Amino acid sequence: MANPAKLRDAIDRGRTGDKVRAGDPALAPLGTDEEAAGTPPPPTAVDAALREETARPRHAPEPRIGGAWVLFAVIAFLAAGILAWPWFAS
């Protein structure tokens, strides 16, 4: 039987295809609002949500090096060249 923590774990592991595999430090974890209101979700609803979200095996893409890192490398290379220019010019 599933509980909201298992559903959240499936989402965090990327099994639902919603996001990359990473922990999500939520201020209010999944199911907290219902629990605080005194109306926790019935286990059958959580089971249905877990089955539906993970029915088709979807995997989030692995994180890749992004354009920002390439830009950072180019800027660092240019800065090193500018700083080294006086040394080579003399």
Number of domains in the chain: 1
Asked whether residue 79 is domain-assigned, the answer is no
Contact (Cβ atoms closer than 8 angstroms) between residue 18 and residue 54: no
State the pLDDT at residue 75.
Answer: 94
Across the chain, which has 90 residues, the per-10-residue mean pLDDT values are 77 73 69 81 84 72 73 93 83
Contacting residues for 27 by C-beta, under 8 A, at least 6 apart: none
- Calpha distance 52→43 (Å, rounded): 14
**What gap in Å lies between CA 56 and CA 43, rounded to an integer?**
21
| Phi and psi based region of residue 2 (left: phi greater than 0; alpha: psi -120 to 50; beta: remaining) | beta
Range of the domain at 57: 4-64
The whole-number pLDDT of residue 21 equals 66
Residue 57 lies in a domain: yes
Q: What is the mean pLDDT of the chain?
A: 78
